[in-house]
Amino acid sequence: MQFTPQLEDKLKKLMRNYPIKRSALIPMLLFAQDEQGFLSQETIAEIAGRLELTVPQVEETISYYSMLRKKPAGKYHLQVCTNISCLLRGGEELFEHARKKLRLAPGETTPDNLFSLEEVECIGACAWAPAIQVNYQFHHELTPERFDQLIRELERSRT
């Protein structure tokens, strides 16, 4: 299968960084996912081939890491942390609020493909709990109100 020249470039650089081919697996998957939105069977097979791995070996990795996905996500992928620190500071309530607000169950995407929602374990932002991650952007010390405001801003920026 064909990747875009930009992606090919990135992948080539990556491969050079690792003396053991398979070490490049996770970043390769991430780069491919960033560009394509998700990891298709085709992409998985292609990457497996390049790294001399079997498809099941790549699937193992994907299924282990929640940041890697095999289904398309929304334009804004909202990851709400409900691990200890966030939990103590209202993370669960925040997650519940997000579900109601967006009318989404975990793992689902809104019909307009704008938002998708996921409950995640600690994202390393404990000091600013509760935290959520939107794509690669972090948002700290959220309350339901600040969450709604964030959603409004994102909706505006769609156009």
Partner 1 sequence: MMGETVKIRVDDRELEVQRGTLLIEACRAAGIEVPSFCYYPGLSLQAACRMCLVEIEKAPKLQTACTVPVTEGMIVRSNTEQVTQARRSMLEFLLGNHPLDCPVCDKGGECELQDMVFRYGASESRYGEAKRHVEEQQWSPVVYFDAPRCILCYRCVRVCDEGMGVGALSVVNRGVHTEIAPNHGDHLECEECGMCIDICPVGALTSGAYRYKARPWEMQYTSTICTHCGDGCKTTLSVRNNKILRGNNRDRSGINGEFLCIKGRYAYDFVEHPSRLRQPLIRRGRELVETTWEEAIGTVAAKWSEILARRNKAANNTLAETSEKRSEGFGVIGSNHTTNEENYLLQKFARTVLQTNHVDHHRTADYAALIHALANESAEQPSQAQRPPLARSKDIVGASAILLVGNNPTEQHPLIAWNIREACRLNGARLYIIHSRRIPLLRQSHRFLPLGLGHEADALRHLCGEPEATQALLGETPSGDNVTADLLNDFRNRLQEEKDVIVVFGDEITGPDVSLLIRMGSRLSGQTRYIALGDYSNSRGASDMGLLPHLLPGYRPVGDAAARAFFEDRWKSPIPATVGLSVDDMVAATLQGGMDALYVVGANPLKGRNPEDFCGKTFLVVQDLFLQETAQAADVVLPAASAYEKSGTVTNTCGELQRLRKAVGVLGTRTDLQIFASLAAAMGATLHPSQPEEALEEIRQMVPEYNIPLANVLAGGAEAVLNPNGFKPLAAPAETSGRVYSAQDTLFTSGTLGRFSNILNLVPERNIRKEPGPA
Identify what 30 binds: ligand FES, partner 1, none; CB under 5 to 8 Å per kind.
Answer: none
Pick between residue 28 and residue 78 the one whose CB is nearest to ligand FES: 78
| b/e sequence 92-131, b meaning 16+ C-beta within 10 Å | eebbebbbeebebeeebbeeeeebbbbbbeebebbeebbb
Contact criterion met (CB below 8 Å) for 12 and 40: no
**Which positions lie near ligand FES, rule CB under 6 A?**
81, 83-86, 122-126, 129, 131
Question: Can you tell me the distance from the alpha carbon of 95 to that of 130, in angstroms, rounded to the nearest whole number?
Answer: 10
Among residues 3 and 128, whose Cβ is nearest to ligand FES? 128
64 binds, among partner 1, ligand FES, none (CB under 5 to 8 A by kind): partner 1
Of the candidates 44, 57, 52, 65, the residue with the CA atom closest to the CA atom of residue 15 = 52
Paired strand residues for 132:
80, 139
Position 4 contacts partner 1 (CB under 8 A): no
Name which of 53 and 104 has its Cβ closer to partner 1: 53
Q: Taking CB under 8 A as the criterion, which residues in 54-83 touch partner 1?
A: 54-57, 59-60, 63-64
The rounded Cα 21 to chain-centroid distance in angstroms is: 24
Residue 67 or 114 with smaller CB distance to partner 1: 67
We find the least distance from the C-beta atom of residue 137 to ligand FES, in angstroms, to be 14
Q: Smallest gap, in angstroms, from Cβ of residue 36 to partner 1?
A: 21
